[in-house]
Amino acid sequence: MKKILLGSVMAALLTTTVMADKISTYEYAAFKSVDDVKSALHDNGLTIVGEYDAMQNPDYHIIAYTNQSLQNDASKEDRAFAAVQKVMVSKADKQLVLTNPEYFLHAFLQDDYKAEDAKNLNATLANAFGKLEASKDALDDDDIEGYHFMMGMPYYEDMIEVAEGKDLAAKLEKNAAENIVFKMQVGDAMLYGVAMPTEKGEKYYLAEIKGEKNAAFLPYMVMIEGDEAKILHPKYYLAIAYPQLSMGEFMSISGTPGDIEEYFNTLFK
């Protein structure tokens, strides 16, 4: 009887292991110029909402795009962050780095995630850019929705309110000015992508963890919904953008979450 029970347990464990597919955080494609990437996105029905040099470095040029499916799926409360995906033209590594819709949409849409929409977008990207190679950064598909770095660390829903009150969009647009990479209406929310070219900004913290290769998750985003402006908690966003980050690497940028929060606080003064 014990042997039968043990065999059943092992079979269940093996089945669970087989069923838990790894979903890559990023996908890599053959290098194209910025203009060719923009043309490929446009030709495949995707709308470019903004672009900029991440980390103030023209070797890492990021193009943010959307489509109607993304906007529809992201139109519910606290879901606007899912409305945009990104492609980084990396001259440094001679490749394209794409945020994987099946990963980031699952993370940002939570239980509103529609796998078919993410897979359809991935098929569109493959048509636009050819063979897509999975990054080593990845999570099991059943771990993405409830991801947090470790016990006591924030989840997706643990967003930080960086401002509250009236005229938040006007304040942000005045103070962030040329650092606004994109803005778009998503349901009842306004979503902004904002560069952080400060001394302790993206150029600093990505260099500290040697994360330039996978900087396609930038720019950092802020969502204005009602009378609140919220960002994803940096201890969540940086961790899910770099799921292979070690504790030592995370500790090397221990001040960064506070720096990011403070930066966005000042943009609404």
Q: Is the dihedral of CA 222, 223, 224, 228 positive or negative?
A: negative
pLDDT of residue 19: 57
CA 144 – CA 103 distance, rounded (Å): 7
Which DSSP symbol is given to 91? T
- CB atoms closer than 10 angstroms to residue 7: 10
Mean pLDDT, the chain, integer: 93
3-state DSSP call for residue 194? strand
Domains of the chain: 22-140+148-266 (3.30.310.70)
Mean pLDDT, range 228-238, rounded to an integer? 98
How far, rounded to the nearest angstrom, does the alpha carbon of residue 105 sit from its chain's CA centroid?
9
- For the cut 60, the answer to whether the pLDDT of residue 200 exceeds it is yes
Q: Is 99 exposed, middle or buried (0-12, 13-18, 19+ CB in 10 A)?
A: buried
Instruction: Give residue-wise pLDDT tens across range 104-137.
Output: 999 999 999 999 999 999 999 999 999 999 999 9
Q: Grade residue 268 by pLDDT with cuts at 50, 70 and 90.
A: very high
Strand order in the sheet with 47-53: 47-53, 60-66, 85-90, 95-99, 26-30, 133-134
CA 186 – CA 169 distance, rounded (Å): 14
Instruction: Give residue-wise pLDDT tens across range 30-66.
Output: 999 999 999 999 999 999 999 999 999 999 999 999 9
| Residues ≥6 apart with Cβ < 8 Å to 29 | 95, 96, 98, 125, 129, 130, 131, 132, 133
- For the cut 60, the answer to whether the pLDDT of residue 152 exceeds it is yes
Packing angle, helices 115-129 and 101-109, rounded to 10: 150
Nearest CA to 234 among 162, 172, 166?
162
